[in-house]
Amino acid sequence: MLNGTAVSHFLLLEFSEVRELQFLHIIVFLMLYLATITGNLLIISSVILDHHLHTPMYFFLMNLAVQDLGQVSIILPKSMINSLLNTRYISFTGCVSQVFWFLFFITSDWCILTVMAYDRYVAICNPLQYEMIINRQACTEIMAGVWSASFLYAGMHTIGIFTNHFCSNIVNQFFCEIPKLTKLSCSELNIIEMATLLTGFVLALGCFVYIIVTYLYIFTTVLRLPSAKGRQKAFSTCIPHLTVCSTFVFTIFIAHLKPTSKSFSWLDIIFTMLYSLAPPILNPVIYSMRNKEIKKAMSKILRFRYFS
């Protein structure tokens, strides 16, 4: 116990003291990391190299893949390095960096998913004005707004967390997770943290309601289409996005609904892995399985690499 004094470092979770199990942890996390990197890089490469995918929908999808890459890259490598070196150490600065960038990427993810819902709404419910509303300049301005808002929110949230005094430096998680750090605080939440949490909750709930209402309008419009082929094409672009949104919300809801304990809990680890790792891993799979244009672009890239 540190009695509220400043800490110079934190101690992350040690999965096991047995060396063989530590190597097993490295292998499992490395496989998850490589799967995430491969899938999202394929999405990014497909959108960049295939001119048929140079549309706003795939531009936002590419940005989503970039955010997913950043999200896993900020937490998995440090955990694997610690197991490899048989240590639990992370510096105070490193922990601050993890919290900030994880918040930035996960906030950007949710904002991009909301923007993609708006993009599908305009494309299906107001197709004649789509090119005028969702043009290149609008896409650039939207993404600049997403990055700026996410950067500001992550900065305020990080400041709110680390201006508190910590009674312990033992984080029972494989990265500096916010609920675990909050439990280590000796004092009540400060004004900055309370205001940031309230703002984040209101914005996240507002985005969620907006996505639900948007898709109600979209499905109502799609079901009125006279052509079966048109309905199928509309559903093929909407279902993957709706599935990704559902996965994101479901995993975060499960992880944060239950109370967080200060002590070690395998349940905490499982739920944390669900919301921090499952969406970045599953997003490329969902889009590649349900979207024919993405599958075609990916197959071209894979065939080109194979013959090369």
Q: Decide if 13 contacts 269 (C-beta within 8 A).
A: yes
| Length of the chain as a residue count | 308
pLDDT of residue 1: 43
pLDDT of residue 260: 57
**Cα gap 14→11, rounded to integer Å:** 9
**Cα gap 304→308, rounded to integer Å:** 6
Domain boundaries 9-307, corresponding CATH code: 1.20.1070.10
| Other beta carbons within 10 Å of 53 | 20
DSSP 308: -
User: Could you tell me if residue 278 is left (phi over 0), alpha (psi between -120 and 50 degrees) or otherwise beta?
Assistant: alpha
pLDDT of residue 95: 95
pLDDT of residue 3: 45
Coil, helix or strand for 237?
A: helix
- The CA angle 101-43-129, to the nearest 5 degrees, is 95
Residue 89 φ then ψ, to 5°: -75, 135
**Cα gap 289→236, rounded to integer Å:** 10
pLDDT of residue 68: 93
Taking alpha carbons only, the member of 242, 284, 235 closest to residue 61 is 284
- The CA angle 219-118-281, to the nearest 5 degrees, is 90
CA separation, residue 163 to residues 96, 123, 157 (Å): 11, 45, 10
Q: What is the pTM of this model?
A: 0.88
Q: Where are the domains positioned within the chain?
A: 9-307
- pLDDT by position in tens, the chain (length 308): 444 456 788 999 888 788 888 899 899 999 999 999 999 999 999 899 888 888 998 999 999 999 999 999 999 999 999 999 989 999 999 999 999 999 999 999 999 999 999 998 998 888 889 989 999 999 999 999 999 999 999 999 999 889 888 888 888 889 998 888 888 888 766 677 778 878 888 888 888 889 989 988 988 888 887 777 767 777 777 788 788 888 777 777 776 666 655 556 677 788 888 888 888 988 888 877 667 788 788 787 777 655 55
pLDDT of residue 2: 45
